[in-house]
Structure 1
Amino acid sequence: MASEPKASLPILYKDLIPLNSNQHGGWNARSVDRADWVVNQHAIPLTAEEFPAAQRDYPIVFSSGDKPVPLALMGLNEGVNVFFDDEGAPIGTPYVPAYVRRYPFLLAKIDPSSDNLSLCFDPTSSLIGEFEEGQALFDAEKNPTEHTQNLLQFCEKFEEAGMKTQSFVDELMKADLLMDGEVSIQRNDAPDQPFIYRGFKMVNQEKLREPRGDQLRKWNENGMLPLIHAHLFSLDLMRVVFGKQAQQGKGPVAPEAATVN
C-alpha cells in the first residue's frame, strides 16, 4: 500500500535541474487551480506539523522499510486518488499537502562535497517555462524576484519541517512504537471476503500504553503525543477512502486484488 519514495528522485519529480539566472532569466512560473501531477498518486509524503490538518481528510500512515516516512493516503490502491479528479482538480476542499504545493521546486544538494542546497525544479513541468503568463522568476538585472524569494523561503521551511519530522520518526523508532499495519475492510456485497490492506507501518497502541512518567511528560511537552493521536485517529478514514473508491468506480473488484504484501 505505502512504499518509500525512490532514492534517485523524490516522487512526482521526473527530473531536476538548478534554477539559475543565466539559463532561466526570462522564465515565468504559472499558478494553477489544479494539480495534475498528483492524479495517479495514492500516497504523498507528509511533514509531522501537517498531521492536525491532514488527519481530517486522509489516513496518515508510515511507509514500510528501514526509514519510515509519514504518508497521506489519497487512495488505498496503487494509482488511485479519490481526492483529485482525472485533470487534477480537487474533489471538494481537501487539505493539500505541502509536498504537493512545493512542486515543481525543491532544495537539493548540487555539489556532493558541499552541504549547500540550491533551488531546483523539474523541467518537465508545465508550471515553469519561457512563456508570457505567470510570475517572473528574475528581474531585468537577473536578480531573483520577490516571487522566487518566496518560493525559496517555502522550500526552506519545508526542509526545516522535514528535519523535525525525521526527529519525530526517529523517536518513534527508538521507542519501538512502529509496527507493520494491517486493515481489514468488509464490503456489504461480500461480507465473508474482506479486503486486506498491508504494506505500511502504524503506531502500536499496546506499546503506547507502556511508557510512564518522564517519558510521557517529554512526549507531551515536545508535541509528540498529539501527533501520535492524530495519526491513530486518522486510521478510521481508511474505510471512508475505501467507500470513496467504490463510489468513484475505482475500488478493487475482488478481495485478492486489494491485498498488498
Structure 2
Amino acid sequence: MDQNVRLYVGNLPYAAQRKDIEGLFEDNDISFKNIDISTDPFTGRNPSYCFVDLDPADADLAMSALQGQMLRGRPVRVNFNTQKGSRTHRPVTIEYEHSRKTHHFPTANVNDKAFAFDRWSRRDAESHWTAPFDERRRIYVGGIARIPNQDAVNAEMRGLFHEYDVQAVSKLISPRDHVIPEEGSQYYCFVDLATPEEAESAVRVLDGKATPQGGNYRVQHARQGKPTIVQREQLGVTKNPTPGNRPRDLAGSWRRVD
C-alpha cells in the first residue's frame, strides 16, 4: 500500500500563511493530503518553511513543478524526506542567565504538553494577533531571566499563571543592550489569558511576585506597539508614508520589528 510522502517546502516569506501554500499547489494542479505549518500567534510569522503530505506520484510532480516557483516574491525550495523534529527527547533546561551571569536553577517540569498554544496543530493563530490586546487580556511579564528553551518559558509562565486560563505564551524577548542594568533580569514575554477579568486579576495579584531566581516579576497590561510587517500586510494596516521614501518589499523575509 502506498505511503504518504512528506515534502519540506522552504524559503518562504515570513508572511506566508496556509492559504498561500494551498494556492501554490492548487494553481499547479497538484493534490495534497495535509499542510503542516507553524504560525506565531503573537507576530503572524511562520518559521520560513512548512511540510506538505502527498501521494508519491503527486510528490514527484511537486518536486519537478514547484522547485523555484515564486511565492510572495521568493523562490520556494522543495525537498524529499525531511521530517518535522520532535520535542519529546529535548533535555530539561536547567541553565538561566541572571544579572549578566550564568547560574543554575531548577526549572519547571517540561514535557510535550508544556506549550499553551501548539503552533503546528492550531489553525486559528491569525485571530490571536490582535484580539487579546484589543480585549485587554494580553499581559506583559517582565523581570524574567534568560531561559534557553521555549518550552521551559511556557512551563514557567503556566506555573506563574496556574490559577488562570492561559491561552498562549510568546517567545522570550531580549532587552536592548543599553537598558540592561548591572543587576536584575530584563527579559520579558507576553501571556494571553482567556478573559479581560482574568487579566485584571493577574495584574493585581502577580505584579511583584518573586521569581525563581530571586528577582521580581513585572506583570502589567500589554501596551500597543508598532505593527510588524506581517501584521501590516495580513491585516491591511498601512505604515504612514514618508515623502521620498521607497516602499518596503513586504514579500521578503524579515527578522525584526520596525
Q: Could you tell me the TM-score, scaled by structure 1's length?
A: 0.29
Q: Could you tell me the TM-score, scaled by structure 2's length?
A: 0.29
Query: Larger RCO: Structure 1 or Structure 2 (Cα < 8 Å, ≥ 6 residues apart)?
Result: 1
